[in-house]
A and B are shown apart, each in its own frame.
Chain A
C-alpha cells in the first residue's frame, strides 16, 4: 500500500533523509528503529504531510497515488494515521466534538453517511474500552490536562475511531510505564487486520515485546541500513546501535 522510493528530505537546508526505500503491504507490521537523530520522526512527519520539510528527491505512493501531492487532511482521509510523539492540547475543544468532526470528515471523504449523535457516542464507548480510557474523556478538552500515558492512549483511541489503513506510531512507547505500555500495545494488536498495516517508530525494543513486527529496519544517518525479521530487534537490544554504526562508518571510510 505504501511505496517509498529514494526519498531525500531536508529541513532548513539540512539533509535529514538521504534515500529511503521502503515498501509496506497490507497485514504487515514494520518497526523502524535507530539511534536518536537518525531521521525516524522526520520520516513519520513527512509521510503525514508536515510542511516544515523540503522533499529534495524521490517518490512516495499510497495505494498507487502520489502521497506527497496530497494535503495532510486528505492523507488522513485516505487512511494514513499518525500517532504523535507529543500530542498537542486544544483548550476548550471537547474530545467528543473533535472526534465527531474528524470521524465525519473522514466518512464524508469515503462516501459513507454521517453518524448521528447516538451512533457516534456508541462507537466512542466501544473504542474507549480498547484502551481503557476513562469515561469522562468525552467532556474533557483535547489532551488538556491529560497525563503522558493518557495522551498516548488517547492517540490509540483516535486510531481506533478513524480505522486507518496505515498507522504510524511515532515513539508511542516513550514515557509509558509498563502497564500503560501493555494497554496501548493490546489496543494496537486488537486493531490489526489483514487489510491494514502498522509502522512502529521506536528507539527501544521493549514495545516490540508486545507488538511483534514482521520486519525491523534500522535507520541511521538518514538511510535504512539494515532490514531483517524480529530477531534484529533483540540483537539491537543486546548490543546497542554501536556495532551497526561501526560497521557502516568503516564501510564509508
Chain B
C-alpha cells in the first residue's frame, strides 16, 4: 500500500508549471547593482516628488546598516544584491495611439495567463491591475470605480495624482525600517497597486492585481497600499507567476493595509511564483512583508493566502489590532513540494480592548520540502478582553518532507483568552482504502482528502477564485501523493 501510495503521490505532485514561458519584448532596464544613485535613478525614472525620494533614501541608508534575518527555518543561499537589476520596464512603443493603449504583446502575455485585460472579456465583477516586472501595464474599470470615488490605480499613478494620500499613509503600517526586506523594498520599489475606498462605500467589484516577472536577472519589488476609509468595504485579490529559469530571482514586496472605523478589508493571495524545478534549481525567493493596521474601532482585516509557488517563502501577513473591537483573521494554505521551503504564518498584535483574532493555517508538505508555520499572538496589557483562536495543521505526503510549527504567544493581561490547537498528520492508508472500497481511485481519493483538509481556508476565497485555487493545489501536488 505504502508503495502504491508513494507512487501516486509522486504522480500527483509532479505537475508541470504552466506559466513558465517568457514574453519576448524589449525591456528598458537600468544597470545591475544597488547604490544611492540607483535609488535616485528609479525615483527620477518615475518622476517622483521630493518626499518619495527622501523616503527611498532613508530606507536605503537604513538597509545598509541592517542584516538579513536568519531566524527563519530556511536555508537561504547567499544573495548578491549587486548582481540584481532593480528596474525593468517593458518598452513603450511610441506609435501607440492613446495613453490607454497597451502593447498587444503584453495583452497576449496576460491572455496566456488567463487574465484578459479587455474589460468586456473580463470576469464580470473583477477589476484588474496588471503589473509586469517593474511597472503597471494596465488597470481596468478605473472609470467605473471612479464614479463611486474609489481610487484603483498603479502606485506610480497614485504618487502623481494623489500625492497627499500616499504621503499620509505610506509607511504607516510597514515603516521603511521595519525589517531588512521591507527596507530594501522601500528603497527600490517600482510599482504596485494603490486603492482608496472612500467613506461609506462598499466596493462593487473584486479588485485584483496580477504580478508577472518576465525579465531575467531582475528583482521584483512592488508595493501595494490599501486604504479603507470609515465604514467602507473592499475585497482584493493578488495573483502572481514567473517564467521558469535556472537562476533564482528575488521578489521582495510590501503590502500595507489601513482600515479606518468600521471598515473591512479582505485580502486574498494566490501565490504561484515559479517554484524551481524538481531538483531544486531556480525559482523565486519570495520575501514579503504584509501588514494590516486596524486603525479604527470595529475595523476588520482578513488575510487569505494560498501559497503554492516560490523556491523559498518568507512571509507573515499580520494584523495590528489598534482600534477597539477590531478583528484580524489569517487563513492560509501553504503547499511545498520537491525542494521548496516555506516559513510562513502571521502576527496578531492586540492593542485595543476587546480585539479578536483568528488563525487557521494548513500546511501541506511533499517531496523533499520543508514547511514551517511561524506565528505570534501578542496581547498587550491594556488590550483587555481580547481573544485569539489559532489552529495550525500540517499534512505530510511522503516521508522525506518536513513540517514544523513555531507558535509564540505573549499575553499581557488576565482577561484575555488565547487558544492554540495544532495537529500533524499523514494521509492515512485507511482513509485511502476506505475511498477505494467505495469505487474511488487512489488519486481521486487523495485529491478529495486534501481538498477536505483545506476546505476551511478555500471557503474564504472569493467564489471566482476558489475553483482556481483548488485546481492550482491539485497541479502543485500532482505526482506527490503516497
**Contact residues of A with B, CB < 8 Å?**
48-52, 71-73, 75-77, 81-82, 84, 87-88, 90-93, 97-99, 101-102, 105-106, 109, 141, 158, 162
Contacts and interface: CB of A to CB of B under 8 A. Distances in A.
5 contacts: A48-B437, A51-B4, A73-B439, A88-B431, A90-B434
Contacts of B437: 48-49, 72-73, 75-76, 81-82, 84
A75 B440 CA distance: 11
B441 A88 contact: no
The 4 closest A-B pairs by CB, nearest first: A92-B452, A93-B452, A72-B436, A102-B438
Interface in B426-467: 428, 430-431, 433-442, 444, 448-449, 451-456
A73 B430 contact: no
A101 B444 contact: yes
A11 to B, nearest CB: 12
B1 interface: yes
Given A50-B433, A77-B439, A93 B448 contact: yes
A81 B434 CA distance: 11
A235 B452 CA distance: 48
**Which of B440, B442, B449, B456 has the most chain A CB atoms inside 10 A of its CB?**
B440
Contacts of B428: 88
Contacts of A76: 436-439
Contacts of A90: 431, 434-435, 448-449, 452
B454 A72 contact: no
B204 to A, nearest CB: 30
Interface string B256-276: 000000000000000000000
Contacts of B435: 90, 98, 102
A75 B438 CA distance: 9
**Which of A72, A87, A158, A162 has the most chain B CB atoms inside 10 A of its CB?**
A72
A42 B235 CA distance: 54
A91 B434 contact: no
Interface residues of B, number: 24
A87 B430 CA distance: 9
Given A50-B433, A52-B1, A92 B439 contact: no
A81 B436 CA distance: 11
A44 B176 CA distance: 66
Contacts of B441: 73, 105
Contacts of A105: 438-441, 444
A92 B451 contact: yes
Nearest to B456: A92
A72 B435 CA distance: 9
B434 A87 contact: yes
Nearest to B450: A92
Nearest to B423: A91
B333 to A, nearest CB: 12
A138 to B, nearest CB: 15
Interface string B416-430: 000000000000101
Nearest to B452: A92
Given A84-B437, A102-B439, 20 more contacts: A49-B436, A51-B1, A51-B4, A52-B1, A72-B433, A72-B436, A73-B436, A75-B437, A76-B438, A81-B437, A90-B431, A90-B449, A91-B452, A92-B451, A98-B438, A101-B444, A105-B439, A109-B439, A141-B452, A158-B438
Given A52-B1, A76-B436, A162-B439, A101 B448 contact: yes
A158 B449 CA distance: 18
A92 B438 contact: no
A91 B438 contact: no
Interface string B52-93: 000000000000000000000000000000000000000000
Contact of A88 (B1, B430, B439): B430
Contacts of A84: 434, 437
A41 to B, nearest CB: 13
A93 B436 contact: no
A105 B434 CA distance: 14
B450 to A, nearest CB: 9
A93 B317 CA distance: 28
Contacts of B433: 48, 50-51, 72
B395 to A, nearest CB: 11
A72 B453 CA distance: 24
Contacts of B444: 101, 105
**Which of A77, A101, A158 has the most chain B CB atoms inside 10 A of its CB?**
A101
A90 B451 CA distance: 11
B448 A98 contact: yes
A101 B453 contact: no
Contacts of A102: 435, 438-440
**Which of B1, B433, B454 has the most chain A CB atoms inside 10 A of its CB?**
B433
Nearest to A80: B437
A97 B448 contact: yes
Nearest to A108: B439
A30 B364 CA distance: 45
Contacts of A93: 448-449, 451-452
A74 to B, nearest CB: 8
Contacts of A73: 436-437, 439-442
Contacts of A52: 1
Nearest to A159: B438
B203 to A, nearest CB: 30
